[in-house]
């Protein structure tokens, strides 16, 4: 199997607060995890690539100081949205790549963030 | 050409129909391709991987046309439960990342 969990599934927060989202691979070791954002009726947009034990690689236009990523173990990566604003409201989805499969990615169920 | 391009649809088909979508890609060096299925407000789920000329899994067939740089997904005997958005993904960057198309929406009606 290749099960990825994500928590929380839904969060509503006030503008200016920080939100942490956890992504876990439950039955495999994930050397690489990816964080995506998806706005309604839009494609998945890669935000950053996270390798265990090293700094995340951010895509162009994604502020690394605003979206803090930590990949402390082979089964856990976290994304913290700092000082969230209403424009950060989106569907955040993580995915994980198995050690033995170089390209296939398995997605977590996503976190729907609403910033009021 | 955009990195990965898909017709957004929607494709409206009756149950039992055969339907096909295409996905064009710009990186001629790509060696692997993926079709994901995404239900409304849910995460994408891997449907099929394509590493050579094509792949078949039950009612689903994926084919690769390297010369024209597109992959296709064929669904035979459509079911109501096939209604979803189908995303095409192609490795990019250092091949550790995937670039997704915007998806093609399929609506299967009774």
> Pick from B46, B95, B99: which is nearest to A104 by CB?
B46
Q: Do A43 and B95 touch (CB under 8 A)?
A: no
Mean pLDDT for the stretch of residues B48-57? 88
Q: Which residues contact A9 (CB under 8 A, 6 or more apart)?
A: A109, A110, A111, A112
pLDDT of A40-85, one tens digit each? 888 889 999 988 878 899 999 999 999 999 988 889 999 999 999 9
Residue A103: list chain B partners with CB under 8 A.
32, 34, 49, 91, 95-96, 98
Helix (H, G, I), strand (E, B) or coil at B48: strand
Is residue A100 over pLDDT 80? no
pLDDT of A7-30, one tens digit each? 999 999 999 999 999 999 999 888
CA angle A79, A25, B90 (to 5 degrees): 80
**From A3, which residue of chain B is nearest by alpha-carbon distance?**
B45
CA angle A97, B101, A41 (to 5 degrees): 105
> Pick from B43, B46, B98: which is nearest to A108 by CB?
B43
pLDDT of res. B1? 61
Q: A35 — contact with chain B (CB < 8 Å)?
A: no
Mean pLDDT of chain A: 92
Q: A44 — contact with chain B (CB < 8 Å)?
A: yes
**From B88, which residue of chain A is nearest by alpha-carbon distance?**
A43
């Amino acid at each position: 199997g290749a099960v990825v969990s994500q928590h929380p599934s839904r969060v509503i927060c006030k503008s200016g607060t920080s939100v942490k989202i956890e992504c876990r691979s439950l039955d495999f070791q994930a050397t690489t995890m990816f964080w995506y954002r998806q706005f309604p009726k839009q494609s998945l947009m890669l935000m950053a690539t996270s390798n265990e034990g090293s700094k995340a690689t951010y895509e162009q236009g994604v502020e690394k100081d605003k979206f803090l990523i930590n990949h402390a173990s082979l089964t856990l990566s976290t994304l913290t949205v700092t000082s969230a604003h209403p424009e950060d409201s989106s569907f955040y989805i993580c995915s994980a790549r198995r050690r033995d499969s170089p390209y296939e990615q398995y997605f977590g169920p996503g976190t729907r963030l609403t910033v009021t | 050409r955009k990195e990965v391009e898909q017709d957004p649809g929607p494709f409206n088909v009756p149950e039992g129909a055969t339907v096909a979508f295409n996905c064009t890609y710009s990186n001629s060096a790509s060696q692997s391709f993926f079709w994901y299925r995404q239900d409304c407000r849910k995460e994408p789920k891997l449907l099929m991987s394509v590493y050579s000329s094509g792949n078949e899994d039950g009612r689903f067939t994926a084919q690769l046309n390297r010369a024209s740089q597109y992959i296709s997904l064929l669904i035979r005997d459509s079911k109501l439960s096939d209604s979803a958005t189908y995303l095409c993904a192609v490795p990019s960057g250092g091949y550790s990342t995937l670039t997704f198309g915007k998806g093609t929406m399929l609506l299967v009606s009774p």
